[in-house]
Amino acid sequence: MSDNHDALRRLVGASWWFLFPCFALVVLRLAAERTCADPYDLLPGIASRPVWGGLIAVVYVASHLWLIGVYLLTASFSDSIFPRRSAFRSVWQTDYVKVLLMLIVFVVEYLPVTMWRLAGTALHCAR
């Protein structure tokens, strides 16, 4: 591993501490909106304020860039465009759990709206 790659890996791992909690909160709030409110008018009270809307957008986009960075660094280290799970584990070592937790939040974020609406119906909170 080169020093530049290792420094980038440490930077990405350290940035997780800011991005993950913020992104997880946004995703949980969006999931609640999709489940119990209008799934296509997300966070109307918060996102209508430019400062909050901007901050949410920055966290959302930065989290996606974080995941892309994880993939690119892993692909670079493993010299493969399709790195195996073992490559992720090898590259990220102790930060591997961070990668997995972020992936779980992304799975929650990208579940189809239909799934959230079914959950809302089951919970008797869908409008």
The upper half-sphere exposure of residue 14, i.e. CA atoms within 13 Å in the direction of its Cβ, equals 6
Q: Is the pTM of this model over 0.95?
A: no
Q: Residue ranges of the domains in the chain?
A: 3-28+43-111
Measure the N-to-C terminal CA separation of the chain; round to a whole number of Å.
53
Per residue in 86-108, pLDDT (tens digit) is 888 888 888 899 999 999 999 99
Other beta carbons within 10 Å of 56: 21
Structure-block tokens of residue 113: 């709206």
Per residue in 105-121, pLDDT (tens digit) is 999 999 988 888 888 88
